[in-house]
């Protein structure tokens, strides 16, 4: 809707009296500056970025956009439903604001003026500006920032006893203030009468800059307030192609900024949705996500199949699974609600067992205790692929609380739309149909199990009991704090399990551990040595292929040992590398008909079992392997190493700063690798992160985690010394120039 300089939109609705209005200056000063406004910036363009930030604090219907005469590009980008004003004579920013006077809603209590070529201002900064203006009852309020090296294009703010007494250009600073680095950023708020009245007089006298307005208001002794921004990236204006490139880096960096307090959106990673309790993880978000999944269930016509819902032992898991059940019930979708605390693989099993449209479990897996989340499984028990989870999260984030349909749990139970049903026995029975329970009986195996305060005690304890395995459990109590550590079954967190085995005088033949939701496994051998999942996968693949006669290839993610490939080649079988995320592992298993799929972080499954990782099943399979071979873990390792040779893995992680997420990939693109230290690079894969392939199955991987703000560095080499050398090189590469 194009407006003249004096016309007013009749299509915008009235906001409550006193609500702010805004003017976005998007006319530019010449063709080059106007071209920059419509250039891509992140997922949008420069002018769209500025406009979207502005409309987070001022209603869209109350924003006036000033464009150049005859300009259509900004209109096409922002849409036809806005109030547009064509700038008259190019007399400066003050003149452009004055041109917009007739289009500003008559009831505006204050007018916020912002520039389209300064698109990196945060909405919080604009909200702070408006709020400061109101609370200070100011005549004029503007944004300031203190920068290390002010550009000459920015005027300096001069204060006396904290009050603004002048705004001057750099060359006009006196000796007392020459080192003053506080700048006028260039966003203003004023009442409409003062704003337009003062500008009318200034423009008539030939003063066309908005800064002249500030000079006048200060000189008249009116109330002037400021709001300081502390992220100097916000000050970045776009007046050249080089500055546009710098702005793109800032936008990219912001994508990876940890968002706290105000970030309530749902984001799926490689293992479901996870967030800090009280920030991203709230019952409101649980309900919104379940409504989105319920909507998808209805669209597919799968309501009659229902859903199965469970929860683990974390804070809010019980309340969350009730909230989830109420949403599905409210959408006329039957719910099988699993009582008590259940392992994730039980829900993975339950979806196809019941023929449910979806399986849902409230869990944050191995994350620290302040986290919780949700995993969603399809009808066959597999994890949805990225395009599906993107659809769920986008729809959930677009839903308001009023759009969530619920039915009280007590009423839902009375109506039979929510049914409480334990599926522990069917799950255990299914495992015992695959694992040879009878073969383990009589083996006199004694084990120690560390469920890490998680959910495996009932199921794994029952299976081991049926095998007549004598099992001692530690850390089996219900403790949502997990003993103060993240419940991940890795070497650093299994010290109690290791010590119990080492102090037992050879009593125990095996130590087993599962993570918080029991889909990952950790193993300690009879000597108390931690066995990496890489080695465990190698042993199980050998066992399945050679002892159980299960022919077929193997699938691993790209962070998992290449010894599996060597063993597969020895067997004449295929090996397949996939991205991180168990959904990619199971998809790869189907693709090549693999007998085993796994990942170095502790997850595995076999052909014929569920399409997800299962630490409980894995523990049972390891017990079977020891019983049927009659060998200890240490003996099996040496036997398989004789076939494959040795490779040594090391891993490290560093906090993934936003700067690092931008700089590391850019440096990898700009500096094609030919060597890692003295070792020649054979090839580089960008399947998932950057994997540098060296000779003789040696490799190094840089990958940003999909579940935590961490950059992971993983290497595998012929010797421990070479592995340490490769890891040192990666760490040096990552930190250089960041």
Among 449, 407, 481, CA closest to 620: 449
Residues 314, 319, 320, 321: is their CA dihedral positive or negative?
positive
Question: Which residues make beta-bridge pairs with 311?
Answer: 362
Tokens of 223: 């109330």
Give the tokens for residue 492.
């650093």
- DSSP conformation letters of 387-453: HHHHHHHHHHHH--GGG-----HHHHHHHTSEEE---HHHHHHHHHHHS-HHHHTTS--EEEEE-TT
* Dist. CA 265–CA 317, nearest whole Å: 19
What pLDDT score does 1 carry? 33
Q: Which two tokens stand for residue 653?
A: 């992680």
Q: What value does the mean pLDDT take over residues 689-704? A: 93
Per-residue pLDDT band for 38 (boundaries 50, 70, 90) equals very high
- Dist. CA 679–CA 718, nearest whole Å: 12
Residues in the chain: 738
CA geometry: angle 465, 471, 476, nearest 5 deg:
105
DSSP code string of 485-521:
S----SGGG-HHHHHHHHTTTT--SEEEEE-TTS--E
DSSP H/E element including 87: none
- Which run of H or E residues covers position 638? helix 633-644
Q: Which two tokens stand for residue 522?
A: 């950790």
Q: Check residue 100 and report its DSSP letter.
A: T
CA distances from 690 to 132, 683, 702, 712 (A): 46, 11, 5, 11
CA atoms within 13 A on the CB side of 539: 25
The pLDDT value recorded for residue 263 is 64
- Over the stretch 588-632, which tens digit does the pLDDT of each residue have? 999 999 999 999 988 999 999 999 999 999 999 999 999 999 999
- Residues 6+ positions from 272 with CB-CB distance below 8 Å: 363, 365, 373, 374, 375, 376, 383
CB within 8 A of 131, min separation 6: which ones? 227
Q: Which domains does the chain have, with CATH numbers?
A: 2-255 (3.90.550.10), 268-422 (3.40.120.10), 428-644 (3.40.120.10), 648-735 (3.30.310.50)
Distance of CA 102 to the CA centre of its chain: 45
Instruction: Mean pLDDT check: name the lowest of 242-256, 399-413, 483-497.
Output: 242-256
On the question of pLDDT at 149 being above 80, the answer is: no
Region of poorest pLDDT, from 66-80, 82-96, 277-291: 82-96
Statement: the pTM of the whole predicted model exceeds 0.75: no
Average pLDDT, the chain: 89
**pLDDT of 316 over the 70 cut:** yes
List beta partners, residue 269: 272
CA distance between the termini of the chain: 47
The predicted-structure confidence for 539-564, as pLDDT tens digits, reads as follows: 999 999 999 999 999 999 999 999 99
**Six-digit token pair at 571?**
């067997």
Q: Among the residues of 511-614, which ranges form H helices?
A: 533-546, 563-571, 582-592
Q: How far apart are CA 357 and CA 691, in angstroms?
A: 37
pLDDT of 268 strictly over 80: yes
Q: What is the reported pLDDT for 15? A: 35
Pairwise CA distance, residues 119 & 112, whole Å: 15
Residue of 39 and 11 predicted with greater confidence: 39
State the pLDDT at residue 160.
Answer: 83
Flag whether pLDDT at 176 surpasses 80.
no
What confidence score (pLDDT) does residue 11 get? 31
For the cut 80, the answer to whether the pLDDT of residue 328 exceeds it is yes
CA–CA gap between residue 351 and residue 358 (Å, rounded) = 6
DSSP letter for 671, please.
S
Beta bridge partners of 323: none
> How far apart, in whole angstroms, are the C-alpha atoms of residue 252 and residue 66?
28
Predicted local distance difference test score (pLDDT) of residue 266: 92
pLDDT greater than 90 at residue 715 = yes
Least confident segment among 171-185, 234-248, 683-697: 171-185
**Stretch 431-456: mean pLDDT, rounded?**
96
Range of lowest pLDDT (170-184, 190-204, 261-275, 307-321): 170-184
pLDDT at 230 over 90: no
Give the DSSP letter of residue 691: E
**Residue 622: per-residue pLDDT:** 97
Reported as a single tens digit per residue, the pLDDT across 111-142 is 999 999 999 999 989 999 999 999 999 999 99
Which sign does the torsion angle of CA 561, 564, 569, 573 carry? negative
Q: CA separation (Å) from 90 to 169, 216, 229?
A: 22, 21, 30
CA-nearest of 159, 178, 175, 157 to 167 is 157
Burial class from Cβ neighbours inside 10 Å (0-12, 13-18, 19+) for residue 89 reads exposed
- Tens digit of each residue's pLDDT (9 = 90 or more) over 88-98: 877 788 899 99
Give phi and psi for 605, each to the nearest 5: -150, 170
**Per-position DSSP letters for 341-373, written without gaps between them:** ---HHHHHHHHHHHT-SEEEEE--TTS-TTEEE
Site of tokens 């997990």: 482
> What is the rounded radius of gyration, in angstroms, for the C-alpha atoms of the chain?
31
DSSP lists the bridge partners of residue 530 as 524
CA distances from 72 to 63, 67, 96 (A): 18, 9, 17
So what's the pLDDT on residue 630? 95
- Residue 462 to residues 297, 341, 459, 609: CA-CA distances in angstroms? 35, 15, 5, 19
- Residue 272 forms beta bridges with which residues? 269
- In this structure, of 94-103, 122-131, 174-183, 379-388, the range with the lowest mean pLDDT score is 174-183
Residue 522's closest CA among 633, 611, 644? 633
């Amino acid at each position: 809707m194009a407006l003249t300089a004096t016309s007013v939109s009749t299509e915008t609705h009235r906001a409550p009296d006193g609500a702010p209005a805004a003017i976005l200056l998007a006319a530019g000063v010449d063709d080059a500056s106007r071209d920059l406004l419509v250039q891509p910036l992140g997922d949008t363009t420069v002018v769209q970025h500025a406009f979207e930030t502005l409309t987070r604090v001022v209603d869209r219907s109350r924003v006036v956009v000033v464009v150049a005469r005859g300009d259509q590009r900004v209109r096409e980008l922002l849409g036809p439903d806005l109030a547009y004003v064509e700038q008259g004579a190019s007399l400066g920013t003050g003149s452009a604001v004055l041109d917009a006077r007739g289009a500003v809603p008559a009831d505006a209590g204050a007018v916020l003026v912002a520039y389209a070529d300064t698109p990196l201002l945060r909405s919080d900064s604009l909200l702070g500006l408006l709020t400061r203006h109101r609370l200070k009852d100011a005549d004029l309020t503007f944004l300031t920032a203190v920068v290390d090296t002010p550009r000459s294009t920015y005027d300096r703010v001069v204060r006396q006893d904290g009050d603004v007494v002048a705004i001057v250009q750099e060359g006009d600073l006196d000796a007392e203030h020459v080192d003053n680095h506080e700048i006028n950023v260039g966003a203003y708020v004023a009442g409409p009468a003062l704003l337009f009245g003062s500008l009318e007089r200034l423009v008539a006298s030939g003063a066309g800059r908005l800064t002249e307005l500030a000079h006048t208001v200060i000189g008249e002794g009116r109330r002037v307030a400021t709001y300081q921004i502390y992220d100097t990236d916000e000050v970045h204006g776009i007046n050249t192609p080089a500055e546009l490139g710098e702005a793109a880096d800032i936008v990219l960096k912001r994508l990876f900024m940890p968002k706290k307090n105000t970030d309530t959106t749902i984001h799926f990673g490689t293992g479901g949705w996870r967030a800090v309790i009280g920030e991203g993880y709230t019952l409101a978000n649980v309900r919104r996500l379940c409504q989105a999944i319920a909507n998808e269930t209805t669209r597919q016509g799968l309501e009659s199949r229902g859903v199965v819902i469970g929860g683990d032992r974390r804070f809010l898991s019980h309340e969350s699974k009730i909230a989830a059940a109420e949403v599905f019930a409210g959408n006329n979708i039957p719910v099988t609600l699993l009582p008590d605390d259940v392992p994730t693989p039980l829900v993975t099993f339950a979806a196809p067992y019941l023929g449910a449209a979806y399986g849902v479990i409230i869990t944050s897996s191995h994350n620290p205790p302040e986290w919780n989340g949700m995993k969603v499984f399809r009808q066959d028990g597999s994890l949805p692929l990225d395009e599906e989870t993107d659809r769920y999260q986008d729809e959930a984030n677009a839903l308001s609380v009023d759009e969530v349909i619920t039915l009280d749990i007590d009423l839902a139970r009375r109506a039979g739309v929510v049914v409480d049903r334990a599926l522990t026995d069917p799950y255990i029975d299914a495992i015992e149909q695959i694992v040879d329970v009878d073969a383990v009986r009589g083996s006199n195996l004694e084990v120690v199990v560390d469920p890490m305060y998680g959910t495996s005690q009932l199921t794994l304890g029952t299976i081991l009991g049926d095998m007549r395995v004598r099992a001692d459990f530690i850390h089996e109590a219900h403790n949502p704090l997990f003993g103060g550590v993240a419940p991940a079954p890795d070497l650093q967190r299994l010290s109690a399990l290791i010590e119990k085995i080492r102090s037992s005088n050879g009593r125990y033949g095996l130590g087993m551990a599962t993570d918080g939701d029991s889909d990952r496994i950790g193993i300690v051998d009879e000597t108390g040595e931690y066995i990496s999942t890489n080695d465990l996968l190698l042993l199980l693949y050998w066992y399945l292929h050679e002892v159980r006669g299960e022919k077929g290839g193997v699938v691993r993610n790209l962070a998992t040992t290449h010894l599996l490939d060597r063993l597969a080649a020895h067997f004449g079988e295929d090996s397949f590398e996939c991205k991180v995320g168990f959904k990619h592992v199971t998809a790869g298993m189907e693709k090549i008909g693999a007998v085993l799929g796994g990942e170095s972080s502790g997850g595995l499954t076999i052909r014929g079992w569920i399409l997800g990782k299962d630490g409980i099943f894995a523990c049972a399979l390891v017990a079977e392997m020891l019983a049927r071979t009659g060998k200890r873990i240490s003996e099996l390792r040496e036997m398989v190493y004789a076939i494959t040779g040795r490779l040594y893995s090391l891993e490290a992680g560093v906090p993934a700063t936003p700067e690092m997420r931008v700089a590391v990939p850019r440096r990898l693109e700009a500096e094609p690798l030919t060597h890692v230290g003295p070792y020649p690079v054979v090839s580089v894969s960008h399947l998932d992160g950057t994997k540098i392939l060296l000779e003789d199955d040696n490799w190094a991987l840089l990958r940003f985690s999909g579940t935590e703000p961490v950059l992971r560095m993983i290497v595998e080499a012929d010797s421990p010394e070479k592995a340490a050398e490769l890891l040192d090189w990666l760490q040096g590469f990552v930190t250089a120039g960041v």
